[in-house]
Amino acid sequence: MARLTWPNGARCAVCLTFDNLGEAFDRRVYGHAAGMASEGQYAVRAGVPRLLDLFDRQGVKVTFFSEGWNGEHNAALIREAVQRGHEVAAHGWMHEQWNELAPDLERDLLTRATSALEQAAGVRPAGWRSPSGLMTERTIPLLRELGYRYDTSFMDDDLPYPMAGSGQGLIQLPWTWEIDDAVYYAHGRGNIVAPEVVEAHWRADFDACYEELGYWMLVGHSRFSGRPARARALERLIEHIKRHEGVWFARCDELAEWVRKLAAE
């Protein structure tokens, strides 16, 4: 595959992303955020703060994908993330089963999420990641209508690309399940995997993408990777990536705008 050209001659773009900035998912699924359903509260109290400090130490900026409900209820945390230089993008209203939404409800939830995050962050969200990557045939046109600049819900390519058809004007930033921490750390998805095993897998995947593609995106969750041992593994991974020559750590909005610029040349 043809490699994309990155700023300052960088060899590889690395995008670190983190979903579920609060307990919206738990409240929708369980009706509360207590007991076993309190991981979203852990994210707010400990996970996100630990990760923000980690990113400060490493000097990297990331993109947080937050549900709109969390924009209303955890606005202070979202403002802090933005003040530290990170991007906050949209991830549903309460992490709905997005592909099952009726047309009017989909429009309402997407509009409400956009507004809530804009109010919390002080800037309109530029990007969208559908909950679990699920969407309807209406989602992409709605994103365009609401002024979104990029989507990162598809799994159809190794590299970012300008969308066509109903997605004309949007940049797609593909992701993949094997570089999503929920596969390894989420209760109920099978055996929970040790952080050092996950770290080794992600190192190998990054190394392959560094050599072959020049693009690598991590999908994390502060409720999972914000736990102490897992955060340490994440920091070791970042240090491993930084030992490679020519790595550009980019927020999703920065990456999307660069791809847009390349497409226009």
pLDDT (tens digit, 9 = 90+) per residue, 18-34? 999 999 999 999 999 99
19: left (phi over 0), alpha (psi -120 to 50) or beta: beta
3-state secondary structure of 196: helix
Residue 1 lies in a domain: no
pTM as predicted: 0.96
Burial per residue of 114-152, b for 16 or more beta-carbon CB atoms within 10 angstroms, e otherwise: bbbbbebbeeebbbbbbbbbebbeebbebbbebebbbbb
Locus of tokens 């990456």: 255
Whole-number pLDDT of residue 190: 67
Query: What distance lies between CA 93 and its chain's CA centroid?
Result: 15
Residue ranges, the chain, pLDDT below 50: none
- Does residue 122 lie in a domain region? yes
For tokens 């559908």, the residue is 130
- Phi, psi (deg, nearest 5) at residue 94: -135, 40
pLDDT tens, residue by residue, 72-117: 999 999 999 999 999 999 999 999 999 999 999 999 999 999 999 9
C-alpha separations of 162 from 69, 107, 156, 246 in Å: 29, 23, 13, 24
Backbone angles phi and psi of 108, in degrees to 5: -65, -45
Which residues form the domain of 23?
Answer: 7-264
Residue 168 falls inside a structural domain: yes
Counting the structural domains of the chain, the total is: 1
Do residues 256 and 160 touch, judged by C-beta distance below 8 A? yes
Report if residue 2 sits inside a domain. Answer: no
In a domain, residue 74? The reply is: yes
Domain at 169, CATH number: 3.20.20.370
- Collapsed DSSP state (helix, strand, coil) of residue 90: strand
